[in-house]
Amino acid sequence: MINKINFTKAIIDTLPEPEPKKRDIYHDTKTPGLQLRVTGVKTFFVNRRIKSGDPERITLGRYPEMTIEQARRKTMEVLHDIAEGKNPAEIKRGEKAELTFGNLFNEYLERHSKPNKRTWREDESKYKTYLERPLGKKKLSTIDRRDIALIHSGITKDGHDITANRVLALTSSIFGWGISAGLWELNPAIGIKRNKEKSRDRFIQGDELPRFFEAVAKEENEAIRDYVLISLLTGARRANVLAMRWQDINFERAEWRIEETKNGTPQTVALSPEAVEILLNRKPSDNEVFVFPGSGKAGHLMEPKKGWKRILERAGIDNLRIHDLRRTLGSWQAKTGASLAIIGKSLNHKNQNTTAIYARLDLDPVRDSVNKATSAMMQAAGLKDGADVMQLKKKRHFHE
C-alpha cells in the first residue's frame, strides 16, 4: 500500500512511529517524486529510475532540519538533472568521497612534511592557527583563489606581512603536493600577490651592547640568560640552541657538533672561551641530556619569548628578535675583518656560490673570527672579559 499525503508540517509532525525495526514510506501528493521515510527519524528522498535502468535513491535531508519547501525545491532540481541524463546519486557519491582541505593537509603532513621537513611542526601550527577554521571542512572543489586571498589579506591587515606570505606559501605547497600525489588537480593559491618583504638587517649596535649585557645579567631565569648568551656567541639557529645536547659538546676541542641543521647539513660550531665558560658553569653533575632542559614533552626549553621580552624591556631596546642574535655575530665578524666565506661557514649558510670555498676551510680561521668578534662585542659592552657577565650564577628557574 502506497501512503500518499499532502506534506504539511502539521501532518508530518503527527505521523505515527512505525513498528520496531520497520519503516514507513510516504509520497507527497503535491510534488511527484518526493518521498518521506519514517524510522526513528524522518528523511526526505527521491526514488527514480535513471536512464541506465537502475533505480536510484537520492537522499535530500532530514526533517525538520530540511523544511518541506526546501525538500520540494531540491526534488525539482534532482528531477531536472535526471531529465538531462545526469545521475544525481553518482554526483552525490562523488561529492561525499571528495577530500576536504583538512583531509588533504593531514595527508600532506603525514606523507610529506613529517618525513622530509624538520620544521613540520611549524606547518602544523600555521594550519591550526590560520587555515583550519576557514578551510579545514571545505571540499577542495569549493575552494577558490578568493578564499585564499582573503586569508592572506586578513593576516596582512593584522600587521603580520611576512606570516601572511608564509601561510600562503604553505597553502600553495599543500595543493601542489596534492597534485603531485594524484589527490587533486588545481592549485588555487597560484597567482596571489605576496607582500613585499624587506631584507632584515637588524643586529645589536655597539651603543646597545652595554645595556643588553646588563639586562641579560639581571635575568633571574638562568636557563633563559644562558640561552640568550649562547645564541649570541655561537650564532647558531634558535631551534638548534634550544635542543643543544651535552653529548654533542667537546670541551677539549671547544666545539659543538650539530648533526642536522635547517638546511639539512651538519655543522661544527667553534666555541669561544666565553661560550665554553658558560657551558662549563651550566654542566650538571647528573646525567642531564639537554643543556637547556625543560618540563615539556621535548625535554628541553621550547619557548623563550617571555624571557626575551623581559630582557629587551630592561635594556630599553626595541625591534630586536632572537634571530637577530645570529645576525649580530655575523655583523661583528664582518666588523673585525672576517671574509664572507668565513662568516658563511661559521653561520652554516648554504650558498651554492661559496660551497666550494667552504669545503676548503678548516675551523681555525672560523674560530679566530668568532673569538675576535666576541672580544670586540665585550669591549663595546664595557666588559674586560666574559667573566663579568658569564660568572653570574643564580638559582636555576625553568619557568619563562
Q: Do residues 198 and 161 lie in contact, with contact meaning Cβ atoms separated by under 8 Å?
A: no
Of the candidate ranges 9-13, 32-36, 258-262, the one whose mean pLDDT is the lowest: 258-262
Domain identity same for 272 and 362: yes
* pLDDT tier, 397 (very low <50, low <70, confident <90, very high otherwise): very low
Q: How does the average pLDDT of the chain come out, rounded?
A: 84
pLDDT tens track for 205-241: 888 989 999 999 999 999 999 999 999 999 898 889 9
Domain identity same for 252 and 147: no
Domain identity same for 254 and 333: yes
Establish if 190 belongs to a structural domain: no
More confident residue, 180 or 94: 180
* Bridge partners for 255 per DSSP: 250, 270
- Residue 93 predicted with pLDDT over 60: no
Domain identity same for 136 and 12: no
Domain identity same for 76 and 139: no
Q: Do residues 347 and 203 lie in contact, with contact meaning Cβ atoms separated by under 8 Å?
A: no
pLDDT of residue 355: 37
Establish if 193 belongs to a structural domain: no
Q: Which residue has the cell 588545481?
A: 186
Tell me how far apart the alpha carbons of residues 393 and 217 are, in angstroms, rounded to a whole number: 9
pLDDT tens track for 320-378: 989 888 888 888 887 888 777 776 777 777 654 443 443 445 577 778 888 888 888 88
Domain boundary, last residue among 79, 97, 115:
97
Domain boundary, last residue among 97, 122, 142:
97
More confident residue, 98 or 74: 74
* Domain encompassing residue 113: 101-180
Domain identity same for 322 and 236: yes
Establish if 277 belongs to a structural domain: yes
Establish if 200 belongs to a structural domain: no
Domain identity same for 49 and 90: yes
pLDDT of residue 1: 55
CATH of the domain at 361: 1.10.443.10
Establish if 202 belongs to a structural domain: no
Establish if 203 belongs to a structural domain: no
What percentage of residues in the chain have a pLDDT greater than 70? 86
Domain identity same for 66 and 116: no
Establish if 35 belongs to a structural domain: yes
Domain identity same for 255 and 131: no
Q: Looking at residues 106-129, what average pLDDT do you find? A: 90
Establish if 332 belongs to a structural domain: yes
Split into its structural domains, the chain has a count of 3
pLDDT of residue 218: 94
Domain identity same for 85 and 137: no
- Residue 391 predicted with pLDDT over 60: no
Domain boundary, last residue among 82, 97, 112:
97
More confident residue, 393 or 128: 128
Domain identity same for 292 and 347: yes
Domain identity same for 252 and 317: yes
